[in-house]
Amino acid sequence: MEQLNLVETFSEFKEFKNIDRETMMIILEDVFKHMLTKQFGSADNFDIIVNIDKGDLEIWRNRIIVEDDAVEDENIQVPLSEAIKIEPDFEVGEELSEEIKLMDFGRREILSIRQNLISKIQEYEKNNIFLKYKEKIGEIITGEVYQVWKKEILVLDDEGIELILPKSEQIPSDFYRKGDTIRAVVSKVEMKSNTPFIILSRTSEGFLERLFEAEVPEVYDGLISIRKIVRVPGERAKIAVESYDDRIDPVGACVGMKGSRIHGIVRELKNENIDVINFTNNPSLFIQRALSPAKVSSITIDEENKKADVFMKPDQVSLAIGKGGYNIKLAGKLSGYEIDVYRDTDFDNEDVDLLEFSDEIDQWIIDELKAIGCDTARSVLDLEVKELVKRTDLEEETINEVIRILTAEFE
């Protein structure tokens, strides 16, 4: 009965743990050799025969027949008097093979074998998972949300392997429930306490790059090269592309007819705005493209300090800065230059929209001023401080600071 239970255990692991035949044979032989070494001092003279498909297990002990008074090691030698009890024709020098039954080891030893087998298989599985996902770093995987916690999400792949998506690697607007399907890129794989930890990411530049490879065949085939990607997850991203084939328009191919290709990527990234621009080695032209959709009047480049002074019409400044300052921040990261935007002096007599001061004035203050009809810098400067205090919920100190900023604009 004990042997039967142990063999059933082997079959169970073969069926549910997806271990190939050769590996299972190695694990079984290793477990039993360890047991035999512990029992007899050495396992070198034992043959272990395992038929996993049938559930058969045989252990044969091979010993050399010697004279009764010449036995030095009972594990590898057997006296002639014992050998002839098994087969009368045996002679000194011949080899005797005897089958060892599992039941001969006792219940405690069999339970120990089973536990050792479980431990070995678990160790193999963990190492196998680690090696498998180590090769998948940078690849997109699709999994199912199994558990949602405050700081991370537990995801299961199609083999039931546990993956972790930390809060820091989620797009801010991501929201998942148990059972939802999730796509992410494998960003890191490491071993902790002999357990593999597979970390996913939806905020890395690599995730966006893999999405483009999936949606744009020319990128996957290498006809279009992605030179650089920068992004603020969930808000905005800029991607520089180029093609060595003059017949291919890299930007057009990435965007697709009527945006057909890029729309799927935008939806996956929770409506993240994606600017695709042509890469160029001309820094002035590249910065101009990076600041899109704003139109630049002129650029002054300081190559030594990697700085760029960009001049544009007043109505283009807010476009260059972008919501939350993301556009100019990403343009700087993409180009590798520190970008400063200036309003062209040829347009000093024009008014300036308050939104263009969002990098200097808090948005809630701008909203408060706009609520009383002051949408531009001059509309604010035309009113006295007392009037502004009276009509808004702003303090006099705050209004004086706003006026100082706006006045400096026209000086």
For 71, 133, 153, 402, the CA distances from 163, given in Å and listed in that order, are: 58, 10, 8, 50
Does residue 119 carry a pLDDT above 70? Answer: yes
Residue 137 in domain: no
> Which residues, including other chains, have CB under 8 Å from residue 169's CB and lie 6 or more apart?
184, 187, 199, 200, 201, 202, 203, 204
Share of the chain above pLDDT 70, in %: 91
Residue 248 in domain: yes
Least confident of 108-117, 187-196, 310-319: 108-117
Q: Which value, in Å, is the radius of gyration of the alpha carbons in the chain?
A: 37
Share of the chain above pLDDT 90, in %: 41
pLDDT confidence band for 39 (50 / 70 / 90): confident
The pLDDT of residue 282: 92
6: its two tokens: 């142990």
Of 176, 203, 230, the residue at which a domain comes to its end is 203
Of 343, 374, 391, the residue at which a domain comes to its end is 343
Q: Does one domain contain both 237 and 255?
A: yes
Q: Does one domain contain both 23 and 65?
A: yes
What are the pLDDT digits (tens) for 280-323? 999 999 999 999 888 888 899 999 899 999 998 877 888 888 88
The pLDDT of residue 106: 66
Q: Whole-prediction pTM value?
A: 0.66
Does residue 218 carry a pLDDT above 90? Answer: yes
**What CATH number is attached to the domain comprising 166?**
2.40.50.140
The pLDDT of residue 112: 76
Q: Does one domain contain both 11 and 108?
A: yes
Count of structural domains within the chain = 5
Q: Does one domain contain both 70 and 127?
A: yes
pLDDT confidence band for 81 (50 / 70 / 90): confident
Q: What is the mean pLDDT of residues 344-368?
A: 77
Residue 126 in domain: yes
The pLDDT of residue 353: 82
Q: What does the alpha-carbon distance between residue 70 and residue 79 come to, in Å, rounded to a whole number? A: 8
Average pLDDT along the chain: 85
The pLDDT of residue 4: 44
Q: Does one domain contain both 6 and 124?
A: yes
3-state secondary structure of 240: strand
Residue 210 in domain: no
Q: Check if the beta carbon of residue 283 is closer than 8 Å to that of residue 300.
A: no
Does residue 9 carry a pLDDT above 70? Answer: no
What are the pLDDT digits (tens) for 83-97? 888 888 888 888 888
Residue 338 in domain: yes
Closest by alpha carbon to 355, among 330, 383, 372, 377?
A: 377
Q: For residue 88, say if its preceding peptide bond is cis, omega within 30 degrees of 0.
A: no
Q: Does one domain contain both 242 and 330?
A: no
What are the pLDDT digits (tens) for 148-158? 999 999 999 99
Residue 136 in domain: no
Most confidently predicted of 68-77, 106-115, 205-214: 205-214
Higher pLDDT, 56 or 341: 341
Most confidently predicted of 38-52, 328-342, 358-372: 328-342
**What CATH number is attached to the domain comprising 43?**
3.30.1480.10
Q: What does the alpha-carbon distance between residue 207 and residue 202 come to, in Å, rounded to a whole number? A: 6
Of 110, 131, 152, the residue at which a domain comes to its end is 131
Does residue 108 carry a pLDDT above 90? Answer: no
Q: Does one domain contain both 59 and 180?
A: no
pLDDT confidence band for 210 (50 / 70 / 90): very high
- Token pair 């001092």: residue: 41
Does residue 1 carry a pLDDT above 50? Answer: no
Residue 138 in domain: no
The pLDDT of residue 2: 44
Q: Does one domain contain both 109 and 157?
A: no
Q: What share of the chain is helix, strand, coil (3-state, %, to 5)?
A: 45, 25, 30
What are the pLDDT digits (tens) for 225-279? 999 999 999 999 999 999 988 899 999 999 999 889 999 999 999 999 999 999 9
**Domain span holding position 374:** 354-410
What are the pLDDT digits (tens) for 396-405? 899 999 998 8
